[in-house]
Structures are given as structure tokens and as C-alpha cells.
Amino acid sequence: MTVYDVLDMLANGMSSEEIIDDFPELALTDIQACLAYAADREQNQLIIS
């Protein structure tokens, strides 16, 4: 399971609870960590126009 996989499931409308039901090895803190990683990565992107 990758961060991309979790973010993709969330983007496609799955709730955290549904993801945990389908993948019981994950915890809510894992999903929150994926979101925090994505937010941090996005914040650090340099946009050149």
C-alpha cells in the first residue's frame, strides 16, 4: 500500500472508514499521515510561470 493508493481512494470518494474496512492493516493515523505528506509536498512545490 502506497501513499498514492490511499490518496487515490480518498480522491475517488472512499471515506477513511471504508478504506480501513477494506484494508484493516491501516489505521486512521496512517490515512492522516498520507494527507499530511501530500499537504507538505504540495506546500514545497515550486511553481515557475
pLDDT tens for 1-49 read 999 999 999 999 999 999 999 999 999 999 999 999 999 988 777 666 6
The per-residue pLDDT for 44 is 73
Alpha-carbon span 23 to 17, nearest angstrom: 10
The C-alpha atoms of residue 6 and residue 26 are separated, in whole angstroms, by: 10
> What is the reported pLDDT for 21?
98
pLDDT of residue 46: 64
pLDDT given for residue 47 in this prediction: 67
Output the pTM of the full model: 0.83
